[in-house]
Structure 1
Amino acid sequence: MHVSTVFAEFHRINNVNLRNQFYKELDRHTPKLITLFRDKATKTGKIAEELTKLMRIYDLQEQRDVNMRRALVLCALPVYLREDASKFLRTYNSADGLDLTDTPLAFLTVVTDDTTDASLFSPESICIVVEDKYL
Protein backbone atom coordinates (compact mmCIF):
# COMPACT_ATOMS: atom_id res chain seq x y z
CA MET A 1 0.00 0.00 0.00
CA HIS A 2 1.39 3.40 -0.95
CA VAL A 3 1.60 6.37 1.37
CA SER A 4 -0.81 8.35 -0.78
CA THR A 5 -3.35 5.53 -0.47
CA VAL A 6 -3.05 5.51 3.32
CA PHE A 7 -3.42 9.30 3.48
CA ALA A 8 -6.41 9.25 1.12
CA GLU A 9 -8.16 6.47 3.07
CA PHE A 10 -7.52 8.20 6.40
CA HIS A 11 -8.91 11.43 4.95
CA ARG A 12 -11.94 9.63 3.56
CA ILE A 13 -12.75 8.04 6.94
CA ASN A 14 -11.88 10.94 9.27
CA ASN A 15 -11.95 14.00 6.99
CA VAL A 16 -8.53 14.93 8.40
CA ASN A 17 -5.20 15.35 6.60
CA LEU A 18 -3.07 12.80 8.46
CA ARG A 19 0.32 14.30 7.63
CA ASN A 20 -0.67 17.85 8.56
CA GLN A 21 -2.37 16.68 11.76
CA PHE A 22 0.69 14.66 12.81
CA TYR A 23 3.06 17.59 12.28
CA LYS A 24 0.65 20.02 13.94
CA GLU A 25 0.47 17.89 17.10
CA LEU A 26 4.20 17.13 17.05
CA ASP A 27 4.99 20.85 16.77
CA ARG A 28 2.51 21.66 19.55
CA HIS A 29 4.23 19.26 21.98
CA THR A 30 7.84 19.83 20.86
CA PRO A 31 8.73 22.74 23.21
CA LYS A 32 7.49 20.86 26.29
CA LEU A 33 9.20 17.65 25.20
CA ILE A 34 12.53 19.42 24.61
CA THR A 35 12.26 20.97 28.09
CA LEU A 36 11.51 17.53 29.52
CA PHE A 37 14.52 16.01 27.73
CA ARG A 38 16.81 18.81 28.91
CA ASP A 39 15.66 18.30 32.51
CA LYS A 40 16.28 14.57 32.29
CA ALA A 41 19.70 15.17 30.70
CA THR A 42 20.83 17.02 33.84
CA LYS A 43 20.38 13.85 35.91
CA THR A 44 22.74 10.89 36.06
CA GLY A 45 22.45 7.53 34.39
CA LYS A 46 22.54 5.96 30.97
CA ILE A 47 19.33 7.61 29.73
CA ALA A 48 20.56 11.04 30.86
CA GLU A 49 23.88 10.48 29.06
CA GLU A 50 22.16 9.59 25.79
CA LEU A 51 19.83 12.58 26.07
CA THR A 52 22.79 14.85 26.88
CA LYS A 53 24.55 13.64 23.74
CA LEU A 54 21.50 14.34 21.56
CA MET A 55 20.94 17.76 23.13
CA ARG A 56 24.63 18.66 22.69
CA ILE A 57 24.52 17.75 18.99
CA TYR A 58 21.34 19.76 18.54
CA ASP A 59 22.74 22.78 20.40
CA LEU A 60 25.86 22.81 18.22
CA GLN A 61 23.85 23.25 15.03
CA GLU A 62 24.29 26.72 13.58
CA GLN A 63 20.88 26.87 12.01
CA ARG A 64 17.97 25.20 13.78
CA ASP A 65 14.65 24.91 12.02
CA VAL A 66 11.39 23.09 12.59
CA ASN A 67 12.72 19.93 10.92
CA MET A 68 15.68 19.75 13.31
CA ARG A 69 13.40 20.17 16.32
CA ARG A 70 11.16 17.40 14.99
CA ALA A 71 14.16 15.13 14.41
CA LEU A 72 15.42 15.80 17.94
CA VAL A 73 12.07 14.92 19.49
CA LEU A 74 11.59 11.79 17.38
CA CYS A 75 15.09 10.56 18.25
CA ALA A 76 14.98 11.49 21.94
CA LEU A 77 11.50 10.20 22.73
CA PRO A 78 12.36 6.47 22.62
CA VAL A 79 15.49 7.17 24.67
CA TYR A 80 13.44 8.99 27.29
CA LEU A 81 10.89 6.14 27.35
CA ARG A 82 13.72 3.61 27.74
CA GLU A 83 12.77 1.83 24.56
CA ASP A 84 15.24 0.08 22.28
CA ALA A 85 14.79 2.05 19.08
CA SER A 86 17.82 0.59 17.30
CA LYS A 87 15.63 -1.45 14.95
CA PHE A 88 13.12 1.35 14.46
CA LEU A 89 15.36 4.42 14.08
CA ARG A 90 17.88 3.53 11.41
CA THR A 91 20.56 5.62 9.74
CA TYR A 92 22.17 4.61 6.46
CA ASN A 93 25.00 6.13 4.50
CA SER A 94 23.83 6.77 0.92
CA ALA A 95 27.14 5.39 -0.37
CA ASP A 96 26.48 2.01 1.28
CA GLY A 97 24.04 -0.60 0.11
CA LEU A 98 20.60 -0.46 1.67
CA ASP A 99 19.44 -3.77 3.18
CA LEU A 100 15.85 -3.68 4.41
CA THR A 101 15.42 -7.43 4.75
CA ASP A 102 13.20 -8.38 7.69
CA THR A 103 12.23 -4.78 8.43
CA PRO A 104 8.55 -4.64 9.35
CA LEU A 105 8.62 -0.94 10.29
CA ALA A 106 11.40 1.65 10.54
CA PHE A 107 12.12 5.36 10.39
CA LEU A 108 15.04 5.57 7.96
CA THR A 109 17.44 8.52 7.85
CA VAL A 110 19.74 8.57 4.82
CA VAL A 111 22.94 10.57 5.24
CA THR A 112 25.76 11.42 2.84
CA ASP A 113 29.39 10.49 3.41
CA ASP A 114 29.33 12.72 6.49
CA THR A 115 29.62 10.33 9.42
CA THR A 116 29.35 12.92 12.16
CA ASP A 117 26.52 12.82 14.66
CA ALA A 118 25.31 16.17 13.31
CA SER A 119 24.19 14.46 10.10
CA LEU A 120 21.29 13.07 12.13
CA PHE A 121 19.71 16.53 12.15
CA SER A 122 20.37 17.35 8.49
CA PRO A 123 19.92 14.12 6.53
CA GLU A 124 19.93 13.72 2.79
CA SER A 125 16.46 12.21 3.03
CA ILE A 126 14.08 10.58 5.47
CA CYS A 127 11.58 7.85 4.74
CA ILE A 128 9.39 5.32 6.45
CA VAL A 129 9.98 1.64 5.83
CA VAL A 130 6.97 -0.67 5.92
CA GLU A 131 7.41 -4.39 5.26
CA ASP A 132 10.85 -4.10 3.66
CA LYS A 133 9.80 -1.27 1.30
CA TYR A 134 10.47 2.41 1.83
CA LEU A 135 7.75 4.98 1.25
Structure 2
Amino acid sequence: MYYQCFFFLQIDRQFLRISTVPLLSTFFAELDRYSPRLMEIFSRKGRQAGKEITQIMDAISKDDTIHTRRACVIKSLCTYLNEDPEKLVKAYLDSDFELQSTMEQTVMGVYVILIEGALPDDDPADIAVLIEGVEVLSDLNSIAQACALLFGLIYCLNLSYPQQLKCT
Protein backbone atom coordinates (compact mmCIF):
# COMPACT_ATOMS: atom_id res chain seq x y z
CA MET A 1 0.00 0.00 0.00
CA TYR A 2 1.33 3.43 -0.95
CA TYR A 3 1.04 6.40 1.35
CA GLN A 4 2.77 9.71 1.58
CA CYS A 5 4.75 10.08 4.79
CA PHE A 6 4.78 13.87 4.87
CA PHE A 7 3.01 16.81 3.33
CA PHE A 8 5.12 19.77 2.31
CA LEU A 9 3.06 22.17 4.42
CA GLN A 10 3.82 20.11 7.51
CA ILE A 11 7.53 20.35 6.82
CA ASP A 12 7.29 24.09 6.17
CA ARG A 13 5.38 24.64 9.44
CA GLN A 14 7.73 22.44 11.46
CA PHE A 15 10.74 24.29 10.05
CA LEU A 16 9.06 27.59 10.94
CA ARG A 17 8.36 26.35 14.48
CA ILE A 18 11.99 25.30 15.00
CA SER A 19 13.82 28.12 13.24
CA THR A 20 11.22 30.96 13.11
CA VAL A 21 11.93 31.19 9.36
CA PRO A 22 9.48 29.97 6.71
CA LEU A 23 11.30 27.32 4.68
CA LEU A 24 9.87 27.48 1.17
CA SER A 25 9.34 31.20 0.75
CA THR A 26 12.77 32.02 2.21
CA PHE A 27 14.53 29.35 0.14
CA PHE A 28 12.92 30.52 -3.11
CA ALA A 29 13.45 34.21 -2.35
CA GLU A 30 17.14 33.75 -1.57
CA LEU A 31 17.69 31.40 -4.49
CA ASP A 32 16.08 33.92 -6.86
CA ARG A 33 18.02 36.77 -5.26
CA TYR A 34 21.42 35.11 -5.70
CA SER A 35 20.75 33.31 -9.01
CA PRO A 36 21.95 36.12 -11.35
CA ARG A 37 25.24 36.47 -9.46
CA LEU A 38 25.69 32.70 -9.22
CA MET A 39 25.08 32.33 -12.95
CA GLU A 40 27.71 34.99 -13.58
CA ILE A 41 30.19 33.14 -11.36
CA PHE A 42 29.35 29.81 -13.00
CA SER A 43 30.02 31.25 -16.47
CA ARG A 44 33.61 32.03 -15.42
CA LYS A 45 34.35 28.49 -14.29
CA GLY A 46 36.81 26.74 -16.57
CA ARG A 47 38.00 23.25 -17.34
CA GLN A 48 35.79 20.20 -16.91
CA ALA A 49 33.48 21.77 -14.30
CA GLY A 50 32.88 24.72 -16.64
CA LYS A 51 31.87 22.35 -19.45
CA GLU A 52 29.49 20.48 -17.15
CA ILE A 53 27.94 23.72 -15.92
CA THR A 54 27.47 24.90 -19.52
CA GLN A 55 25.66 21.64 -20.33
CA ILE A 56 23.43 22.03 -17.28
CA MET A 57 22.65 25.68 -18.05
CA ASP A 58 21.74 24.84 -21.68
CA ALA A 59 18.37 23.69 -20.36
CA ILE A 60 17.48 27.34 -19.72
CA SER A 61 17.83 28.18 -23.42
CA LYS A 62 15.34 25.41 -24.27
CA ASP A 63 12.83 26.20 -21.52
CA ASP A 64 13.31 29.52 -19.70
CA THR A 65 10.89 29.16 -16.80
CA ILE A 66 11.51 29.89 -13.14
CA HIS A 67 11.43 26.15 -12.34
CA THR A 68 14.07 25.37 -14.97
CA ARG A 69 16.24 28.30 -13.92
CA ARG A 70 16.14 27.28 -10.24
CA ALA A 71 16.89 23.63 -11.04
CA CYS A 72 19.83 24.59 -13.24
CA VAL A 73 21.29 26.88 -10.57
CA ILE A 74 21.02 24.16 -7.92
CA LYS A 75 22.63 21.53 -10.15
CA SER A 76 25.33 23.97 -11.29
CA LEU A 77 26.09 24.86 -7.68
CA CYS A 78 26.76 21.17 -6.96
CA THR A 79 29.13 21.01 -9.93
CA TYR A 80 30.81 24.29 -8.98
CA LEU A 81 31.47 22.87 -5.51
CA ASN A 82 33.03 19.74 -7.09
CA GLU A 83 30.12 17.47 -6.23
CA ASP A 84 28.06 15.30 -8.51
CA PRO A 85 24.60 16.85 -9.08
CA GLU A 86 23.29 13.32 -9.74
CA LYS A 87 23.82 12.60 -6.03
CA LEU A 88 21.23 15.29 -5.21
CA VAL A 89 18.87 15.18 -8.21
CA LYS A 90 18.56 11.97 -10.20
CA ALA A 91 16.49 11.73 -13.38
CA TYR A 92 14.91 8.48 -14.60
CA LEU A 93 12.78 7.55 -17.56
CA ASP A 94 9.34 6.16 -16.78
CA SER A 95 10.26 3.03 -18.75
CA ASP A 96 13.33 2.24 -16.59
CA PHE A 97 12.92 -1.33 -15.36
CA GLU A 98 15.46 -1.01 -12.54
CA LEU A 99 13.87 2.14 -11.13
CA GLN A 100 12.60 0.57 -7.91
CA SER A 101 15.88 -1.16 -7.04
CA THR A 102 17.88 2.00 -7.79
CA MET A 103 15.55 4.08 -5.60
CA GLU A 104 15.90 1.61 -2.72
CA GLN A 105 19.68 2.10 -2.79
CA THR A 106 19.40 5.89 -2.55
CA VAL A 107 20.35 7.22 0.87
CA MET A 108 18.96 10.70 0.34
CA GLY A 109 17.98 12.76 -2.67
CA VAL A 110 15.47 14.02 -5.17
CA TYR A 111 14.34 11.99 -8.12
CA VAL A 112 12.58 13.07 -11.28
CA ILE A 113 10.68 10.63 -13.49
CA LEU A 114 10.64 11.83 -17.08
CA ILE A 115 8.20 10.59 -19.67
CA GLU A 116 10.02 8.79 -22.46
CA GLY A 117 9.88 10.83 -25.68
CA ALA A 118 8.71 14.00 -23.92
CA LEU A 119 9.87 17.42 -25.05
CA PRO A 120 12.26 19.44 -22.82
CA ASP A 121 9.49 21.83 -21.77
CA ASP A 122 7.05 19.03 -20.84
CA ASP A 123 6.40 18.46 -17.15
CA PRO A 124 7.94 15.34 -15.60
CA ALA A 125 5.71 12.47 -14.54
CA ASP A 126 6.80 12.85 -10.91
CA ILE A 127 9.23 14.72 -8.69
CA ALA A 128 9.80 13.20 -5.26
CA VAL A 129 12.11 13.07 -2.23
CA LEU A 130 13.75 9.85 -1.07
CA ILE A 131 15.28 9.19 2.33
CA GLU A 132 16.94 5.82 2.89
CA GLY A 133 15.17 4.31 -0.11
CA VAL A 134 11.70 5.41 1.02
CA GLU A 135 9.68 7.93 -0.92
CA VAL A 136 8.65 10.48 1.71
CA LEU A 137 7.27 13.17 -0.61
CA SER A 138 5.93 12.89 -4.14
CA ASP A 139 4.00 14.86 -6.75
CA LEU A 140 6.04 17.99 -6.07
CA ASN A 141 5.92 20.98 -8.39
CA SER A 142 9.61 21.50 -9.07
CA ILE A 143 13.13 20.31 -8.39
CA ALA A 144 13.81 23.44 -6.34
CA GLN A 145 10.79 22.74 -4.13
CA ALA A 146 11.94 19.14 -3.68
CA CYS A 147 15.47 20.27 -2.72
CA ALA A 148 14.12 22.82 -0.24
CA LEU A 149 11.88 20.20 1.34
CA LEU A 150 14.75 17.71 1.50
CA PHE A 151 16.88 20.29 3.33
CA GLY A 152 13.92 21.02 5.61
CA LEU A 153 13.48 17.33 6.39
CA ILE A 154 17.18 16.98 7.17
CA TYR A 155 16.92 19.89 9.59
CA CYS A 156 13.55 18.99 11.16
CA LEU A 157 14.33 15.30 11.60
CA ASN A 158 17.92 16.00 12.71
CA LEU A 159 19.35 13.69 10.05
CA SER A 160 23.01 13.40 9.20
CA TYR A 161 23.75 15.25 6.00
CA PRO A 162 24.94 12.98 3.16
CA GLN A 163 28.74 12.94 3.01
CA GLN A 164 28.82 13.08 -0.80
CA LEU A 165 26.93 16.41 -0.65
CA LYS A 166 28.70 18.00 2.29
CA CYS A 167 29.54 21.22 0.39
CA THR A 168 26.14 21.70 -1.20
The two structures have a TM-score, normalised by structure 2, of 0.65
- Alignment deviations for residues 46-85 of structure 1 (CA, whole Å, 9 cap, x no partner): 11111122233332x1x41111110111111111111133
The aligned residue for residue 166 of structure 2 is none
Matched residue SS, 2:28: helix
- Pair 1:125 & 2:126 matched: yes
Query: Residues 49 and 74 (structure 1 numbering): CA distance in 2 closer, same or farther, change over 3 Å?
Result: same
| Mapped partners of 2:57, 2:14: distance in 1 | 37
| Mapped partners of 1:39, 1:124: distance in 2 | 34
1:25-36 correspondence runs (5 A): 25-36=30-41
Matched residue SS, 2:130: strand
The aligned residue for residue 8 of structure 1 is 13
The aligned residue for residue 77 of structure 2 is 77
Identity of aligned residues (%): 27
Amino acid in structure 2 at the alignment position of 1:30: S
Equivalenced residues, count: 128
Say which is worse superposed, 69-78 or 46-55, in terms of deviation.
46-55
The aligned residue for residue 43 of structure 2 is 38
Larger relative contact order (Cα-Cα within 8 Å, sequence gap ≥ 6): 2
RMSD over aligned CA atoms reads 2.4
Shift of 1:122: 5.0
The aligned residue for residue 111 of structure 1 is 114
1:16-27 correspondence runs (5 A): 16-27=21-32
Matched residue SS, 2:87: coil
**Runs (5+) with no aligned partner, structure 1:** none
The aligned residue for residue 154 of structure 2 is none
Contact 1:38 1:55 (8 Å CA) reproduced: no
Query: Residues 91 and 78 (structure 1 numbering): CA distance in 2 closer, same or farther, change over 3 Å?
Result: same
Shift of 1:30: 0.9
Contact 2:114 2:125 (8 Å CA) reproduced: yes
| Mapped partners of 2:82, 2:14: distance in 1 | 33
The aligned residue for residue 54 of structure 2 is 52
